[in-house]
Chain A
Amino acid sequence: MDYIYHEEVYKLKERLNEIKEEALEQIQSAVDEKTLQDVRVYFLGKKGQITEVLKGMGKLSKEERPVIGQLANQIRDEISEALETKKTKLEQAALEQQLEEEAVDVTLPGRPVQAGGPHLLRKVIREIEDLFTSMGYSVAEGPEVETDFYNFESLNLPKNHPARDMQDTFFITKELLMRTQTSPVQARTLRKHEGQGPVKIICPGKVYRRDTDDATHSHQFTQIEGLYVDENIRMSDLKGTLNVFAKHMFGEDRAIRLRPSFFPFTEPSVEMDISCKICQGEGCSVCKGSGWIEILGAGMVHPNVLEMAGFDSNQYKGFAFGMGPERIAMLKYGVEDIRHFYTNDIRFLKQFHGV
């Protein structure tokens, strides 16, 4: 079917196409959503350009109206779509810009976590505590200001015993003193058990000696001692226990060596050396050429100590050992001056906070 249209139809068609051109051009050049909104209202709004065109359809015939109507709809859709597309594009660009603006220099330093940490000596002590508690020992503590009785007499060091070096002790009165060892805790604990074994303890704590502070001496230092009293405790049990300790603290590859020694509260007494890590036993300056480094003193509890604490020394035997966490820390980490442990220099303390 062919129609001859009224001239007005051509005019309206032309107008609509002009609107389309104009709209697409404006959409094209829009730089933000606000402009797009204005474009939408201007062309597609209730009082927009397309509506204006449709108002002119009154002059058209019944047959002609749909022609214009259809074209108007088609152009409306095209503009809408162009608007939508542009909008997405602008959003994308905006997001990209935001992301770009939000970028940080990932190489700048992070915010430091305000954390402290343990003291090296306490760390060593806790490590030893953990090892022995895992083997069934308890941790026993006692007073730092001790009586002469517990610090000396109960440990087989009667008054005027030659091995009692009074020069070493800080006395407060004739009977009161700063403990020179943590052994009085052993004596106190044994007494509490009233002759009933087993007793299995380790005793960490501060001790005091009449020394002038220098790189290797400190008038205050720490000690950790162990005691195991039961029926049938043997010297080989001491050796086995110390071996477990040495390998745990210093590494599986370290060997131990026991040497006879003397302490008034043990008999036999021994000193334990571990093989030198630096020279692997060949001898170097650290181990004074011997290949061995002295770590601790130990021995079988002297029967006098057991008897004085109320234990039958025929029935019960025991071993005891004692060591200095300072020495262990110094050996393990190469700390050269014992005073570092008590100066609390932050640069020293912080080094041992990690694993």
Chain B
Amino acid sequence: MLVSRKWLEQYVDLDGISTEDLAEDITKAGLEVEEVRGPVLNDENIVVGYVQECVQHPNADKLNLCQVDVGDGERAQIVCGAPNVSEGQYVVVAKPGARLPGGLKIKKAKLRGEVSEGMICSLQELGFEDKYVPEDFKDGIYVIDEEVAVGEPACPLLNLDDAVIEIELTANRSDCLSMIGVAYDVAAVYEKDLKLPEPTVYIENELSSDYISVEIENDKANPYYGAWIIKDLDIKASPLWLQNRLISAGIRPINNVVDITNYVLMEYGQPLHAFDYDRFKSQKVVTRMANEGETIITLDGEERTLSPEHLVITNGQSAHAIAGVMGGEESEVQDDTTTVLLEAAYFNPSVVRQGSKDHGLRSEASSRFEKGVDITRVKEAATRAAQLLSEIAGGKVLGEMVEKGSTEWNPKIVEFTASEINQRIGTEIAIDEMKNIIERLRLDYEVNGESFTVKAPARRRDISIKEDMVEEIARLYGYDRIPYTLPEGVMKKGGLTPRQKLVREVNQYLQKAGLNESLTYSLTKEDWANQFVSPEIKALGLEPVALALPMTDLHSHLRLSAIPELLSSVQHNVARNQYNVALYELGSIYLQKEKDQQPEENMRVAGVITGLWEDHPWQGEKKPVDFFVIKGILEGLFVHLHDEEVAFEKAELDRLHPGRTAVMKLNDDIIGYVGQVHPTVQKEYDLQDTYVFDLNLDQVLEAVQYREDYRVITKYPAIAQDLAFVVDRDLPAKQLEDAIKEQGQPHLETVRVFDVYQGEHMEEGKKSIAFNLIFQNDERTLKDEEIEEARQKIVKHLENEYQAVLRG
């Protein structure tokens, strides 16, 4: 909502209040000011001039030499290049010393040998936006088409000295979608008188009802309709003051009739519509719901197909307007219009909303109807328009607007006590001050002791419950004056849940392990949504959840793994020469197990690493990431969470390297995977070797075991033994390790692979694998024989079970 200060001053005295203070004060009261614009220009050297003489410049074809009366008997010679300048015009003259909005300073000068004492201005030169410049003056100077005094300052005349405040209204404050509504609030803020218009109109003897009747078919959709006939109109440009008002409100002047309905729209917030009565071709207005498939060509020239959800204004046969949304082309007011049918109506907000939504038409009018106009002022607004049509457009207003329906309003009654209000705000506002605030708001009220009863008027339909009055009183009392307190209730224990703490642990662990926490989009491309999905999720056989109306194909489906978007982040980095990238993301995937049902959300942690893992070049240490780097990070995580039962098993998964991928299992359930991105996929993303993991964090966290005891550090020595075997190359080390662990009981503490060798000096298809075994007993020193016995048992078992050959 654009609010002209000068317009506002018609209703409220703002003397002594700067525009900046006004903006701040109404912002604090709830009308948030986005911007204060202007004044564009207020220069006394810019005046009205009268062109007394205009001849061609003796030395230039395209220039004119004008003798201009600039007031006080002063006459200036001005060289003017505008094609439309001529003798007898009232024009705007910038005298020497004037400064124009572009920064141009006017000086006395000589142009082609002739003295020029100033400049005759175009509207653009005076700072008008192009869209507000009438067609006639687009390519030349502005000619004032009104009686004006020569020498009069021109800036106020053109409203250039006005300041316009742009207010960002919240959805509940539709009362301020009108100048009068804003005036009410400003008057309340400053405790000022409010001077509202009191429209009166001279009425002809002839009656509107001789020309028109009104029929309402659906009074829910259209509770009230008024039709007024105004004859003998002279359609032309509006007077300057009216154009100024509209321009300050951001509306382009068109002609006097249209401008007047727009003016009343902005002043009262009441949309009016003027039909060309002769083109309406009927003596009756019938408002009804449209028929299915009925069509209308609206003012914008578009043919619209209607349905029974839309309210239309008809002439008894065809639709001439979509009620509250847009008029029809057929009965549009044109230059030759002489009689108008002025519509002043109240339409149901949701019906208008439906119409404007379905037809994609949002206008100043529809947005006001949608929020509910002040039904008690419909007639007053119509009278205001009729008055102006008579005063400005020479119209003859016929007797009595023809009305159907009712403008009655049942005010909402809100009851409260002063102490209730104070308790809710946390203040001690005195009863008298509350009374004063309610009076400033101009609300009808009664007070009995500390009990208030407020009748909320139709203009303030946002007030309906006690809490609304809390807000009204608080905002005028001043939010600044509310004290700072903290709740006094019983202290409640808060904090993170054990699971939330664990999630933080996981984050911290992964960050310490060298991964960068990342955030990617949950909504991804359709094909990506189904890629890199962990086998246990894939096994559910789900389709990714799809948006009904995505904005773009890039974000149309909910992911089943974060890996594709993470890979895209890696790609982004690599493309910018950031080759070493380690990212992880902790977030949901979305499992819709039943059609149209709310999906389950599975918290996962996914990671990706590419490039060098060790990078210390001057010491010659540059080690690219490999499978065991990323596996080590995950193993460390499981150790950290005491989830040590997680097993890694070789797996072949889509889009992953068949020889470098494992699934992770917890109690035989797959909980994720880890592996290298398949070389062909790496090529798709333009990546070097890149490793990924995707882990079901919900399951991991469920299996977490907290450390609950302590193991005394033994004073007895541990005994180490190394064993190396030659085995089949395909035999997984983990099988040997598990077998050794089992056979080495009860004293075998740890088993660790310390060497793996295959290749030269090794039989085809074989490998050598060496283990370091640590034996330990907490209560005593182990005997050599015990170790030897365990060792032999292990060797024998491995020889028998795995055809392992012990290396000397």
Query: In the assembly, what is the distance between CA of A176 and CA of B545, in Å?
Result: 11
- For residue B688, which residues in chain A have a CB less than 8 angstroms away from its CB? none
Query: In the assembly, what is the distance between CA of A112 and CA of B471, in Å?
Result: 58
- Chain B min CB distance to A295 (Å): 14
User: 1/0 contact trace for B499-536 toward A, CB 8 Å?
Assistant: 01000100100111111111111110000000000000
Residue pair B519, A237 in contact (C-beta under 8 Å): no
Closest to B357 in A: A166
The reply to whether the CB of A260 lies closer than 8 angstroms to some CB of chain B is yes
Residue pair B516, A173 in contact (C-beta under 8 Å): no
Closest to A134 in B: B494
Within 8 A of B (CB), among A94-126: 108-109, 111-112, 114-119, 121-122, 126
Most B CB within 10 A of own CB, among A173, A350, A353: A173
The reply to whether the CB of A267 lies closer than 8 angstroms to some CB of chain B is yes
Query: In the assembly, what is the distance between CA of A132 and CA of B500, in Å?
Result: 14
Query: In the assembly, what is the distance between CA of A122 and CA of B613, in Å?
Result: 25
Within 8 A of A (CB), among B571-601: 572-573, 576, 578, 580-584, 587-588, 590, 596, 598-599, 601
10 A-B pairs in the complex with CB atoms less than 8 angstroms apart: A114-B514, A115-B512, A116-B513, A143-B601, A163-B171, A219-B523, A232-B488, A240-B484, A243-B484, A345-B572
Residue pair A262, B519 in contact (C-beta under 8 Å): no
Residue pair B598, A176 in contact (C-beta under 8 Å): yes
- Chain B min CB distance to A99 (Å): 21
Q: Check A259/B470 contact, CB under 8 A, given A109-B618, A230-B489, A233-B487.
A: no
Residue pair A259, B32 in contact (C-beta under 8 Å): yes
A contact residues, total (Cβ < 8 Å): 88
Query: In the assembly, what is the distance between CA of A296 and CA of B507, in Å?
Result: 28
Query: In the assembly, what is the distance between CA of A340 and CA of B551, in Å?
Result: 20
* Residue from A206, A228, A261 in contact with B522 in the complex, judged by beta carbons closer than 8 Å: A206
Closest to B599 in A: A145
Residue pair B516, A257 in contact (C-beta under 8 Å): no
Residue pair A234, B518 in contact (C-beta under 8 Å): no
- For residue A24, which residues in chain B have a CB less than 8 angstroms away from its CB? none
Query: In the assembly, what is the distance between CA of A346 and CA of B573, in Å?
Result: 7
* Residue from B483, B484, B511, B587 in contact with A117 in the complex, judged by beta carbons closer than 8 Å: B511
User: 1/0 contact trace for A290-307 toward B, CB 8 Å?
Assistant: 100000000010110000
- Chain A min CB distance to B1 (Å): 14
Query: In the assembly, what is the distance between CA of A346 and CA of B487, in Å?
Result: 43
- Chain B min CB distance to A172 (Å): 6
The reply to whether the CB of A212 lies closer than 8 angstroms to some CB of chain B is yes
Within 8 A of A (CB), among B370-428: 370-371, 423-427
Residue pair A344, B486 in contact (C-beta under 8 Å): no
Residue pair B426, A237 in contact (C-beta under 8 Å): yes
Query: In the assembly, what is the distance between CA of A178 and CA of B426, in Å?
Result: 37
Residue pair A118, B479 in contact (C-beta under 8 Å): no
The 5 closest A-B pairs by CB, nearest first: A236-B426, A260-B30, A268-B471, A262-B170, A234-B426
Q: Check A172/B545 contact, CB under 8 A, given A135-B494, A303-B465, A346-B573.
A: yes
Residue pair A114, B494 in contact (C-beta under 8 Å): no
- Chain A min CB distance to B516 (Å): 4
Query: In the assembly, what is the distance between CA of A237 and CA of B488, in Å?
Result: 9
The reply to whether the CB of A250 lies closer than 8 angstroms to some CB of chain B is no
- Chain B min CB distance to A175 (Å): 8
* Residue from A109, A115, A303 in contact with B514 in the complex, judged by beta carbons closer than 8 Å: A115
- For residue B616, which residues in chain A have a CB less than 8 angstroms away from its CB? 111-112
User: 1/0 contact trace for B452-484 toward A, CB 8 Å?
Assistant: 000000000000010110110011000110111
Query: In the assembly, what is the distance between CA of A137 and CA of B517, in Å?
Result: 25
- Chain A min CB distance to B644 (Å): 23
Query: In the assembly, what is the distance between CA of A261 and CA of B801, in Å?
Result: 77
- For residue B613, which residues in chain A have a CB less than 8 angstroms away from its CB? 114
- For residue A162, which residues in chain B have a CB less than 8 angstroms away from its CB? 171, 349, 353, 370-371
- For residue B482, which residues in chain A have a CB less than 8 angstroms away from its CB? 235-236, 239, 258
The reply to whether the CB of A138 lies closer than 8 angstroms to some CB of chain B is yes
Query: In the assembly, what is the distance between CA of A262 and CA of B30, in Å?
Result: 9
B contact residues, total (Cβ < 8 Å): 100
Most B CB within 10 A of own CB, among A119, A146, A271: A119
Query: In the assembly, what is the distance between CA of A137 and CA of B487, in Å?
Result: 12
Closest to A228 in B: B487
Q: Check A234/B424 contact, CB under 8 A, given A163-B171, A261-B170.
A: yes
Residue pair A200, B494 in contact (C-beta under 8 Å): yes
Residue pair A236, B485 in contact (C-beta under 8 Å): yes
The reply to whether the CB of A44 lies closer than 8 angstroms to some CB of chain B is no
Q: Check A219/B551 contact, CB under 8 A, given A236-B427, A344-B573.
A: yes
Residue pair B486, A241 in contact (C-beta under 8 Å): yes
- Chain A min CB distance to B765 (Å): 37
Within 8 A of B (CB), among A187-235: 197-198, 200, 206, 208, 210-212, 219-220, 228, 230-235
- Chain B min CB distance to A30 (Å): 39
The reply to whether the CB of A42 lies closer than 8 angstroms to some CB of chain B is no
The reply to whether the CB of B493 lies closer than 8 angstroms to some CB of chain A is yes
Residue pair A342, B521 in contact (C-beta under 8 Å): yes
Residue pair B426, A235 in contact (C-beta under 8 Å): yes
The reply to whether the CB of B547 lies closer than 8 angstroms to some CB of chain A is yes
Main secondary structure on chain B at its contact with chain A? mixed
Query: In the assembly, what is the distance between CA of A239 and CA of B474, in Å?
Result: 13
- For residue A170, which residues in chain B have a CB less than 8 angstroms away from its CB? 523, 547-550
* Residue from A144, A240, A303, A349 in contact with B590 in the complex, judged by beta carbons closer than 8 Å: A144
Residue pair A220, B495 in contact (C-beta under 8 Å): no
Within 8 A of A (CB), among B95-117: none
Contact residues of B with A, CB < 8 Å?
24, 27-30, 32-35, 170-173, 349-350, 353, 370-371, 423-427, 465, 467-468, 470-471, 474-475, 479-480, 482-497, 500, 504, 507, 510-523, 545-552, 555, 558, 566, 569, 572-573, 576, 578, 580-584, 587-588, 590, 596, 598-599, 601, 613-616, 618-619, 621
Residue pair B520, A114 in contact (C-beta under 8 Å): no
Residue pair B493, A259 in contact (C-beta under 8 Å): no
Within 8 A of B (CB), among A16-59: none
Closest to A145 in B: B599
Q: Check A344/B519 contact, CB under 8 A, given A260-B29, A300-B467.
A: yes
- Chain B min CB distance to A281 (Å): 11
- For residue A346, which residues in chain B have a CB less than 8 angstroms away from its CB? 516, 573, 578, 580-581
* Residue from A133, A232, A262 in contact with B495 in the complex, judged by beta carbons closer than 8 Å: A133
The reply to whether the CB of A334 lies closer than 8 angstroms to some CB of chain B is no
- Chain B min CB distance to A259 (Å): 6
Query: In the assembly, what is the distance between CA of A222 and CA of B226, in Å?
Result: 50
The reply to whether the CB of A270 lies closer than 8 angstroms to some CB of chain B is yes
Q: Check A116/B465 contact, CB under 8 A, given A144-B601, A239-B484, A344-B569.
A: no
11 additional A-B residue pairs with CB within 8 Å, beyond A145-B601, A219-B521 = A135-B494, A139-B500, A172-B546, A176-B598, A220-B521, A220-B523, A237-B426, A260-B475, A267-B467, A300-B470, A345-B576
- For residue A111, which residues in chain B have a CB less than 8 angstroms away from its CB? 616, 619, 621
Closest to A231 in B: B489
Residue pair B349, A267 in contact (C-beta under 8 Å): no
Query: In the assembly, what is the distance between CA of A243 and CA of B350, in Å?
Result: 40
Q: Check A212/B480 contact, CB under 8 A, given A144-B522, A262-B172, A342-B519.
A: no
Q: Check A268/B470 contact, CB under 8 A, given A116-B514, A211-B551, A237-B487.
A: yes
Most B CB within 10 A of own CB, among A109, A239, A317: A239
- For residue B510, which residues in chain A have a CB less than 8 angstroms away from its CB? 116
Query: In the assembly, what is the distance between CA of A91 and CA of B466, in Å?
Result: 96
Residue pair A344, B523 in contact (C-beta under 8 Å): no
- For residue A126, which residues in chain B have a CB less than 8 angstroms away from its CB? 504
Query: In the assembly, what is the distance between CA of A259 and CA of B475, in Å?
Result: 8
